[in-house]
């Protein structure tokens, strides 16, 4: 799994990197076919009192790309919300991919010769 964590208008500290990694473990525990993960953490400076912390992730799994983004006043809360949304989407994708059809019961030949 390739993992890229980058920041836009902020420095990605080791504490932020570790927090994202621990939260991402929950997603990869549910679905192990993750090929590539790109996490972008950014700060939008609209007004000083109205700073919005934004977190977005682009997750490439076999056969699909999943994109999720959230914004919050606190970056850690934004990461929490992001991972919750991502977890729901990955579980939904996993359910679609899994084969829910059961094999039909085998015929025992009892009815083959009946006339």
pLDDT in tens, 18-48: 999 999 998 888 777 888 999 999 998 776 5
Domain ranges of the chain: 2-96
- Strands 52-61 and 2-8, by their bridges, are unpaired
d(CA 28, CA 61): 11
Domain 2-96 has CATH 3.30.160.100: yes
What does pTM read for this prediction? Answer: 0.78
Arithmetic mean of pLDDT, 60-65: 87
Decide if 24 contacts 88 (C-beta within 8 A).
no
């Amino acid at each position: 799994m390739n993992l890229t964590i980058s920041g836009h208008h902020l420095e990605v500290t080791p504490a932020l990197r570790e927090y994202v990694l621990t939260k991402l473990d929950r997603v990869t525990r549910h679905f192990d076919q993750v090929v590539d993960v790109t996490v972008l953490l950014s700060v939008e400076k609209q007004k000083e009192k109205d700073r919005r912390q934004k977190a977005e992730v682009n997750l490439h799994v076999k056969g699909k790309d999943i994109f999720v983004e959230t914004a919050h006043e606190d970056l850690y809360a934004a990461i929490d919300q992001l991972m919750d949304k991502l977890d729901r989407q990955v579980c939904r994708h996993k359910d679609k991919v899994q084969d829910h059809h059961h094999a039909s019961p085998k015929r025992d030949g009892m009815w083959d010769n009946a006339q």
